[in-house]
Amino acid sequence: MEKTPSLFITFEGGEGTGKTTQINLLSKSLTAKGYKVVTTREPGGTRESEKIRSLLVQRDSGDWSPMAECLMLFAARSMHVKKVIAPALEEGRIVICDRFTDSTRAYQGYGQGLDLKKIEELNDIVLEGFTPDLTIVLDIEPKKGLMRSNRRMAADNLHLDQPEDRYETMDMEFHKMLRKGFLEIAKKEKKRCHLIDADASIESVAKKIEKVVLGALK
């Protein structure tokens, strides 16, 4: 019997934290328990948003300013929420999204130095208060995360015309600031955000995430 409690869950974290793996495991687990689940990603999720994704994450996609990136991300996010996320929630589904506004705060704000107040202003204009119900923040030391990410990208690149590693190739200071951003976001919003050590085993991390999510569904 299917269960229909709508919940918007986002996964956040730096490069190589294992978000995709954990999202897939959580989705399978919740589906097996009778929940209706939709998984999606940012930037992306719609035909329009996937086009914007290619402008931002591919290796040779351009030298965008932080504000230009932010504007494109919110344009993609607007379409994503309107066409995918909001309708699924209205139908009583659990939506699990790989990245959302917290990534814009961390990447363009903390990592690239864009004024966080400007990001919040754009967030208010575009999303009008729409926010995740629950956010899983996966944390790992940047060097370890990049080693993981580089191994994954090496495999993925065999099947991609344009590798999606633009952010991975940025300097270590960027990745340190990125981690700082996610940690500060998690600290500021303890009710919504749950910080989980991504350096543990896949099984251990999955169990912790499932416990948090099932607690939110009660």
HEC sequence for 167-216: CCCCCHHHHHHHHHHHHHHHHHCCCCEEEEECCCCHHHHHHHHHHHHHHH
Q: Determine how many CB atoms are found less than 10 A away from the CB of residue 125.
A: 10
pLDDT of 154 > 50? The answer is no
User: Smallest Cα–Cα separation from 26: which of 13, 42, 43, 7?
Assistant: 7
Q: Where does the pLDDT of residue 206 fall: very low under 50, low under 70, confident under 90, or very high at 90 and above? A: very high
For the chain, which domains are there?
A: 7-217 (3.40.50.300)
Peptide bond connecting 43 to the previous residue in cis, omega within 30 degrees of 0 = yes
pLDDT of 186 > 90? The answer is yes
Per-residue confidence (pLDDT) for residue 52, from 0 to 100 = 94
Whether 162 contacts 58, CB under 8 Å? yes
Q: Looking at the whole model, is its pTM more than 0.85?
A: yes
Type of residue at 218: K
Per-residue confidence (pLDDT) for residue 171, from 0 to 100 = 85
Give pLDDT tens digits for 103-119. 999 999 999 999 999 99
Q: What is the DSSP letter of 17?
A: S
Whether 94 contacts 37, CB under 8 Å? yes
User: Smallest Cα–Cα separation from 41: which of 65, 62, 57?
Assistant: 57
pLDDT of 157 > 60? The answer is no
Q: How many helices (H) and strands (E) does the chain have?
A: 9, 5
Rounded CA separation 218/200 (Å): 26
How does DSSP assign 30-77, residue by residue? Answer: HHHTTB-EEEEESS-SSHHHHHHHHHHHSTTS----HHHHHHHHHHHH
Give pLDDT tens digits for 5-29. 799 999 999 999 999 999 999 999 9
pLDDT of 159 > 80? The answer is no
Q: Report helix, strand or coil for 96.
A: strand
Give pLDDT tens digits for 60-110. 777 899 999 999 999 999 999 999 999 999 999 999 999 999 999 999 999
